[in-house]
Amino acid sequence: MSLYEKTVDRVQDVIRDMAPNRKETVSRDERLIEELGYDSISFLELALALESEFNLFEFDEEQAENLLTVGDVSDVIGKLVVAAAAE
Active site residues: 39
Contact in structure between 16 and 78 (CB atoms under 8 Å): no
Residue 75 CB, shortest distance to other proteins, in Å, is 12
d(CA 55, CA 79): 13
Residue 38 CB, shortest distance to other proteins, in Å, is 10
Contact in structure between 30 and 12 (CB atoms under 8 Å): no
Smaller CB distance to other proteins: residue 1 or 65? Answer: 65
Residue 52 CB, shortest distance to other proteins, in Å, is 9
Using CB under 8 A as the binding rule, whether residue 24 contacts other proteins is answered as no
Using CB under 8 A as the binding rule, whether residue 55 contacts other proteins is answered as no
| Other Cβ atoms within 10 Å of 1 Cβ, number | 8
Contact in structure between 3 and 81 (CB atoms under 8 Å): yes
Chain positions contacting other proteins, by CB under 8 A: 18, 39-51, 56-61, 63-67, 76
